[in-house]
């Protein structure tokens, strides 16, 4: 699989996540055979700004399903 489909270089950024979100990002990256950076890049690029504004609003967030409870930890065997 091609490492990056983007025509621009990546630079280091600082992102603060909870341990649960970080573990879930690890699981997503592992499932897709991508780096954490590329998985996050693709998740962000595949979301329209208006869609993110709606999904991340406080009102909508109360209705969202927290999928971190559905995925096994990377340390668990399935």
For the beta carbon of residue 4, count every other beta carbon within 10 angstroms. Answer: 14
Exposure class string for 14-50: b at 16+ Cβ within 10 A, else e = eeeeeeeeebbbebbbeeeebeeebbbbbeeeeeeee
The answer to pTM > 0.85 is no
The per-residue pLDDT for range 10-54, each reduced to its tens digit, is 899 999 999 999 999 999 999 999 999 999 999 999 999 999 999
C-alpha 65/C-alpha 8 separation (Å) is 33
The per-residue pLDDT for range 60-75, each reduced to its tens digit, is 888 888 888 876 655 5
The per-residue pLDDT for range 37-48, each reduced to its tens digit, is 999 999 999 999
């Amino acid at each position: 699989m091609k490492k990056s489909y983007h025509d621009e270089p990546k630079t280091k950024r600082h992102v603060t996540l909870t341990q649960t979100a970080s573990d879930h990002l690890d699981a997503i990256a592992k499932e897709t055979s991508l780096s954490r950076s590329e998985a996050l890049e693709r998740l962000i690029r595949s979301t329209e700004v208006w869609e993110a504004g709606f999904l991340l609003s406080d009102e909508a967030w109360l209705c969202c399903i927290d999928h971190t409870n559905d995925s096994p930890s990377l340390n668990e065997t399935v």
